[in-house]
Amino acid sequence: TGEVELEPDEILVESIPAVMQYGKTRSVAVLGTGKVLTPENALIITNKAIWALTVPLAGVDEVVAGTDIGKWQWMSAYQDIINGLQEMISTLPLPELLKQGRAKRLMGWEEIKDAKTLPFTQAISLAKANGKKFGYAIRLKEDYQRAKKIFKIP
């Protein structure tokens, strides 16, 4: 992975643990083993941008015996994701947090053209002016409610 480029004065303001990207192929498996293409399981919100991060749990990006371990963790072991993220946030400076979490910068605040929820889900969708969209299902209701506030979604 490349170097994480932070903007000057970029600071962590919020984090949303236990998320799972939707709308893209999540994992591929051949003969029962494979890899997860979108392993990120947390969102990091800074004063400048939105980042997708992978809390490094064992198996987070593996498919074993046809089971997407990261998806299973999201469904069943989401507390491990929450605890892992809290541990990282409390012990690492932001650049190191993003680096260890193989973070991807989704967009800067000024790039968000549209933020909305999906009916009957705990999911948010963020769209850029160029049409590129990012959608994340959020495991816990309180984190989903917080995300709606962060992105000013009614």
Q: What is the pLDDT along the chain (154 residues), one digit of tens a residue?
A: 456 789 999 999 999 998 988 866 655 666 666 676 677 899 999 999 999 999 987 767 777 777 777 777 777 788 988 999 999 999 999 999 999 999 999 999 999 999 999 888 999 999 999 999 999 999 999 999 999 999 999 9
Are the CB atoms for 39 and 54 separated by under 8 Å? yes
pLDDT at residue 34, as a whole number: 67
pLDDT at residue 1, as a whole number: 41
Are the CB atoms for 141 and 16 separated by under 8 Å? no
Cα–Cα dist 144/123, whole Å:
7
Contacts of 35 (CB under 8 A, 6+ apart): 27, 28, 61, 62, 63
pLDDT at residue 25, as a whole number: 60
Strands annotated E in the chain:
12-17, 19-22, 27-30, 33-36, 42-46, 49-53, 62-64, 67-68, 104-108, 112-117, 123-128, 133-138
Cα–Cα dist 16/99, whole Å:
17
Reduced DSSP (H G I as helix, E B as strand, rest coil) percent helix, strand, coil of the chain, to 5: 25, 35, 35
